[in-house]
Amino acid sequence: MVGIYGVISYTVSRRTRELGCAWLWARKAVTNLPWPWKGEHSRWSNGGYGRTNDPFFWSYVVLNALEGDTLKTEAEVRDALQRYDGSLYGKAFPPEQIKVRIKAETTEKWRAHEVMRCSAEIDGFDAEATQAKLKTHLETFRWFCPAINKTVFLVLRSPRKFDPQDEVWKVLLRWPVELVCHETR
């Protein structure tokens, strides 16, 4: 298991070996994004992210470690996804045209934390490869850890419909299995 921001380089290098592909990693302060939450934001994608003919086109993982207990409701999750997507497109796609639909919400218990899991769809835009509208499917996982006073918000995203047996979703779904919000010794 890997602690949030405790051993990020270990996580990335291990996933590279496991998946046989290079996962690109970008980490920045959440303050650079157009939302009111503070904390850290990381994004991973493999080499197929920008190639329209690759199974991993537009498929990636976002990990946020936000200060305090936030994103507690479906409406707050929808707002966060809307704001994040708006930041991806710049002036290429009007934010008011982004449509976020939360399709299902469940609560699960993970390592003594209550995890809110949401399935969602976003009608958005690919401002990089195709310059066209793009529907993506998301699985989100949100939990609060009082030990570190952070809300962990993990987003798995792909234009491929969610199917746990799909080759891309099998890879994406490996991320939440090993993540923990703090090191347990």
Residue 32 located in a structural domain: yes
Distances (CA, A) of 49 to 4, 40, 83, 84, 146: 23, 22, 21, 18, 34
Burial of 157 (0-12, 13-18, 19+ CB in 10 A): buried
Residue 104 located in a structural domain: yes
What is the tens place of the pLDDT at every residue in 13-36? 444 444 434 444 454 444 455 678
What CATH number should be reported for the domain holding residue 29?
A: 3.40.1000
Structural domain harbouring 69: 2-180
How many angstroms separate the CA atoms of 120 and 43, rounded? 18
Q: How many domains does the chain have?
A: 1
Residue 90 located in a structural domain: yes
* Distance from chain centroid for Cα 158: 10
Residue 125 located in a structural domain: yes
Rounded to two decimals, the pTM is 0.84
Residue 185 located in a structural domain: no
Residue 61 located in a structural domain: yes
Residue 126 located in a structural domain: yes
Mean pLDDT of 36-61: 89
Mean pLDDT of 35-60: 88
Which pLDDT belongs to residue 5?
A: 42
